[in-house]
Amino acid sequence: MKITCLVVDDIKLNREIMADLIAGVDFLELAGMCENAMQAINVLNELEPDVLFLDIEMPGMSGLEFLKSLTNPPIAVLTTSHKEFAAEGFEMKVFDYMVKPITHERFSLCSNRLNDLFKEKKKPVLAQQIFMKTGTRYIRVKLDEIIYVEAMRDFAIVHTEKGKLPTQQNLKEFTQHLPEETFMRIHRSYVVPIGKIESIEGNMVKIQNHEIPIGESYRNYVLKILLGKEG
Protein backbone atom coordinates (compact mmCIF):
# COMPACT_ATOMS: atom_id res chain seq x y z
CA MET A 1 0.00 0.00 0.00
CA LYS A 2 1.32 3.42 -0.96
CA ILE A 3 1.25 6.46 1.32
CA THR A 4 -1.42 8.79 -0.07
CA CYS A 5 -0.71 12.53 -0.15
CA LEU A 6 -2.78 15.69 -0.45
CA VAL A 7 -1.05 18.92 -1.55
CA VAL A 8 -2.55 22.25 -0.46
CA ASP A 9 -0.94 25.40 -1.90
CA ASP A 10 -2.46 28.51 -3.44
CA ILE A 11 0.25 28.79 -6.12
CA LYS A 12 -0.15 26.46 -9.07
CA LEU A 13 3.58 26.15 -9.79
CA ASN A 14 4.23 25.06 -6.20
CA ARG A 15 1.50 22.43 -6.44
CA GLU A 16 3.04 21.10 -9.63
CA ILE A 17 6.52 20.96 -8.07
CA MET A 18 5.18 18.98 -5.12
CA ALA A 19 3.30 16.66 -7.47
CA ASP A 20 6.55 15.96 -9.37
CA LEU A 21 8.45 15.29 -6.14
CA ILE A 22 5.76 12.86 -4.97
CA ALA A 23 5.68 11.12 -8.36
CA GLY A 24 9.41 10.49 -8.05
CA VAL A 25 8.99 8.37 -4.90
CA ASP A 26 7.67 4.88 -5.49
CA PHE A 27 5.96 4.49 -2.10
CA LEU A 28 4.08 7.82 -2.32
CA GLU A 29 0.88 8.47 -4.25
CA LEU A 30 -0.71 11.82 -5.03
CA ALA A 31 -4.34 11.68 -3.91
CA GLY A 32 -5.21 15.25 -4.84
CA MET A 33 -4.29 18.95 -4.95
CA CYS A 34 -6.13 21.95 -3.53
CA GLU A 35 -5.53 25.67 -3.85
CA ASN A 36 -7.03 26.79 -0.54
CA ALA A 37 -8.07 25.56 2.88
CA MET A 38 -11.81 25.58 2.23
CA GLN A 39 -11.38 23.34 -0.80
CA ALA A 40 -9.09 21.08 1.20
CA ILE A 41 -11.70 20.45 3.91
CA ASN A 42 -14.03 18.70 1.46
CA VAL A 43 -11.20 16.76 -0.18
CA LEU A 44 -9.85 15.59 3.19
CA ASN A 45 -13.22 14.17 4.14
CA GLU A 46 -13.63 12.46 0.77
CA LEU A 47 -10.12 11.06 0.16
CA GLU A 48 -8.80 10.63 3.73
CA PRO A 49 -5.13 10.96 2.71
CA ASP A 50 -2.31 9.71 4.91
CA VAL A 51 -0.18 12.84 4.61
CA LEU A 52 -0.97 16.51 4.11
CA PHE A 53 1.66 18.71 2.41
CA LEU A 54 0.41 22.10 3.51
CA ASP A 55 1.50 25.60 2.50
CA ILE A 56 1.37 28.09 5.36
CA GLU A 57 0.77 31.41 3.61
CA MET A 58 -2.52 31.25 1.74
CA PRO A 59 -5.26 33.85 1.24
CA GLY A 60 -8.21 33.56 3.58
CA MET A 61 -7.40 30.81 6.05
CA SER A 62 -3.68 30.18 6.51
CA GLY A 63 -2.22 26.70 6.60
CA LEU A 64 -1.65 26.90 10.36
CA GLU A 65 -5.21 28.10 10.97
CA PHE A 66 -6.51 25.31 8.78
CA LEU A 67 -4.47 22.71 10.65
CA LYS A 68 -5.72 23.99 14.01
CA SER A 69 -9.32 23.70 12.80
CA LEU A 70 -9.05 19.95 12.11
CA THR A 71 -10.18 17.64 14.89
CA ASN A 72 -8.40 14.59 13.50
CA PRO A 73 -5.78 15.82 11.02
CA PRO A 74 -3.59 13.52 8.93
CA ILE A 75 0.17 13.64 9.31
CA ALA A 76 1.14 17.18 8.33
CA VAL A 77 4.24 18.44 6.53
CA LEU A 78 4.39 22.22 6.34
CA THR A 79 5.86 23.95 3.30
CA THR A 80 6.74 27.65 3.26
CA SER A 81 9.17 30.24 1.97
CA HIS A 82 9.74 31.58 5.50
CA LYS A 83 11.63 29.94 8.36
CA GLU A 84 10.00 32.03 11.09
CA PHE A 85 6.89 29.83 11.21
CA ALA A 86 8.92 26.75 12.18
CA ALA A 87 8.55 27.14 15.95
CA GLU A 88 4.75 27.46 15.78
CA GLY A 89 4.58 24.54 13.37
CA PHE A 90 6.49 22.20 15.62
CA GLU A 91 4.45 23.33 18.63
CA MET A 92 1.52 21.85 16.71
CA LYS A 93 3.48 18.59 16.40
CA VAL A 94 3.75 18.63 12.62
CA PHE A 95 5.82 15.83 11.14
CA ASP A 96 8.19 18.05 9.15
CA TYR A 97 8.78 21.61 8.04
CA MET A 98 10.26 22.21 4.59
CA VAL A 99 11.44 25.60 3.37
CA LYS A 100 10.91 26.43 -0.30
CA PRO A 101 12.45 25.92 -2.76
CA ILE A 102 12.34 22.25 -1.76
CA THR A 103 15.21 20.24 -3.21
CA HIS A 104 15.05 16.58 -4.19
CA GLU A 105 17.49 15.80 -1.38
CA ARG A 106 15.34 17.54 1.24
CA PHE A 107 12.17 15.90 -0.02
CA SER A 108 13.88 12.50 -0.04
CA LEU A 109 14.81 12.96 3.61
CA CYS A 110 11.21 13.75 4.51
CA SER A 111 9.70 10.94 2.40
CA ASN A 112 12.07 8.33 3.83
CA ARG A 113 11.10 9.37 7.35
CA LEU A 114 7.45 9.04 6.36
CA ASN A 115 8.10 5.57 5.01
CA ASP A 116 9.79 4.54 8.26
CA LEU A 117 6.87 5.92 10.25
CA PHE A 118 4.24 4.01 8.29
CA LYS A 119 6.26 0.79 8.46
CA GLU A 120 6.30 1.13 12.25
CA LYS A 121 2.58 1.83 12.30
CA LYS A 122 1.91 -1.42 10.50
CA LYS A 123 4.08 -3.56 12.73
CA PRO A 124 1.92 -3.67 15.88
CA VAL A 125 -1.07 -5.05 13.99
CA LEU A 126 0.97 -8.05 12.91
CA ALA A 127 3.17 -8.31 15.98
CA GLN A 128 0.31 -8.40 18.49
CA GLN A 129 -1.52 -11.40 17.08
CA ILE A 130 -0.89 -14.92 15.91
CA PHE A 131 -2.86 -17.47 13.93
CA MET A 132 -3.00 -20.88 15.57
CA LYS A 133 -4.37 -24.11 14.18
CA THR A 134 -7.10 -25.82 16.14
CA GLY A 135 -8.58 -28.82 14.37
CA THR A 136 -9.09 -27.85 10.73
CA ARG A 137 -9.23 -24.09 11.38
CA TYR A 138 -6.71 -21.30 11.88
CA ILE A 139 -7.90 -18.94 14.60
CA ARG A 140 -6.55 -15.46 15.21
CA VAL A 141 -5.47 -14.91 18.80
CA LYS A 142 -4.55 -11.47 20.11
CA LEU A 143 -1.47 -11.72 22.29
CA ASP A 144 -2.90 -9.37 24.92
CA GLU A 145 -5.83 -11.79 25.40
CA ILE A 146 -3.58 -14.70 26.40
CA ILE A 147 -3.65 -15.38 30.15
CA TYR A 148 -1.22 -18.31 30.08
CA VAL A 149 -0.25 -21.32 28.00
CA GLU A 150 -0.28 -24.80 29.50
CA ALA A 151 1.31 -28.04 28.35
CA MET A 152 -1.12 -30.95 28.21
CA ARG A 153 0.70 -34.15 27.25
CA ASP A 154 1.94 -33.57 23.70
CA PHE A 155 -0.16 -30.46 23.10
CA ALA A 156 -0.44 -26.90 24.39
CA ILE A 157 -3.62 -25.32 25.69
CA VAL A 158 -3.89 -21.54 25.29
CA HIS A 159 -5.97 -19.97 28.06
CA THR A 160 -7.41 -16.68 26.81
CA GLU A 161 -9.90 -14.06 27.93
CA LYS A 162 -12.45 -15.84 25.72
CA GLY A 163 -11.75 -19.40 26.81
CA LYS A 164 -9.41 -22.34 26.18
CA LEU A 165 -7.94 -23.08 22.78
CA PRO A 166 -6.19 -26.42 22.16
CA THR A 167 -3.28 -26.31 19.71
CA GLN A 168 -1.70 -29.04 17.60
CA GLN A 169 1.78 -28.17 18.85
CA ASN A 170 3.62 -28.95 22.04
CA LEU A 171 4.53 -26.13 24.42
CA LYS A 172 8.06 -25.69 23.11
CA GLU A 173 6.87 -25.44 19.50
CA PHE A 174 4.05 -23.04 20.32
CA THR A 175 6.28 -20.80 22.43
CA GLN A 176 8.46 -20.15 19.39
CA HIS A 177 5.58 -18.10 17.94
CA LEU A 178 5.46 -15.80 20.99
CA PRO A 179 7.68 -12.71 21.40
CA GLU A 180 10.29 -13.56 24.03
CA GLU A 181 10.32 -10.00 25.37
CA THR A 182 6.69 -10.29 26.52
CA PHE A 183 6.24 -14.02 27.29
CA MET A 184 8.24 -16.13 29.69
CA ARG A 185 8.41 -19.84 30.48
CA ILE A 186 8.18 -20.27 34.25
CA HIS A 187 7.67 -24.05 34.42
CA ARG A 188 8.16 -27.00 32.12
CA SER A 189 4.38 -26.89 31.66
CA TYR A 190 3.59 -23.14 31.71
CA VAL A 191 4.33 -20.00 29.72
CA VAL A 192 2.93 -16.66 30.93
CA PRO A 193 2.70 -13.07 29.62
CA ILE A 194 5.08 -11.03 31.76
CA GLY A 195 2.86 -7.95 31.75
CA LYS A 196 -0.09 -9.82 33.24
CA ILE A 197 1.72 -11.13 36.34
CA GLU A 198 0.08 -9.45 39.34
CA SER A 199 2.12 -10.95 42.17
CA ILE A 200 4.60 -13.63 43.18
CA GLU A 201 4.13 -15.60 46.39
CA GLY A 202 6.36 -18.52 47.22
CA ASN A 203 6.57 -20.65 44.09
CA MET A 204 3.43 -19.26 42.50
CA VAL A 205 2.63 -16.33 40.23
CA LYS A 206 -0.84 -14.87 40.19
CA ILE A 207 -2.56 -13.77 36.98
CA GLN A 208 -6.16 -12.68 37.49
CA ASN A 209 -7.73 -15.52 39.47
CA HIS A 210 -5.15 -18.08 38.35
CA GLU A 211 -2.22 -19.28 40.44
CA ILE A 212 0.49 -20.78 38.25
CA PRO A 213 3.48 -22.67 39.66
CA ILE A 214 7.10 -21.65 39.12
CA GLY A 215 9.25 -24.69 38.36
CA GLU A 216 12.21 -25.22 40.67
CA SER A 217 14.67 -25.15 37.78
CA TYR A 218 13.09 -21.91 36.46
CA ARG A 219 12.90 -20.03 39.78
CA ASN A 220 16.23 -18.17 39.60
CA TYR A 221 15.57 -17.14 36.00
CA VAL A 222 12.05 -15.92 36.80
CA LEU A 223 13.13 -13.88 39.82
CA LYS A 224 16.05 -12.38 37.92
CA ILE A 225 13.81 -11.26 35.07
CA LEU A 226 10.96 -9.96 37.25
CA LEU A 227 12.78 -8.71 40.33
CA GLY A 228 16.34 -8.26 39.14
CA LYS A 229 17.66 -10.76 41.64
CA GLU A 230 18.12 -14.48 42.14
CA GLY A 231 16.16 -16.51 44.65
pTM (2 d.p.) = 0.55
pLDDT of residue 207: 95
pLDDT of residue 121: 67
Mean pLDDT of the region 132-149: 87
The string of pLDDT tens digits covering residues 177-220 is: 888 888 999 999 999 999 999 999 989 999 999 999 999 989 88
Res 9 pLDDT > 60: yes
Confidence of residue 135 (pLDDT cuts 50, 70, 90): confident
CATH 3.40.50.2300 residue ranges of the chain are 3-126
In CATH, what class is 3-126?
A: alpha beta
The string of pLDDT tens digits covering residues 87-112 is: 665 677 789 999 999 999 999 999 99
pLDDT of residue 129: 84
In CATH, what class is 129-227?
A: mainly beta
CATH 2.40.50.1020 residue ranges of the chain are 129-227
Residue 228: phi and psi, rounded to 5, are: 75, 20
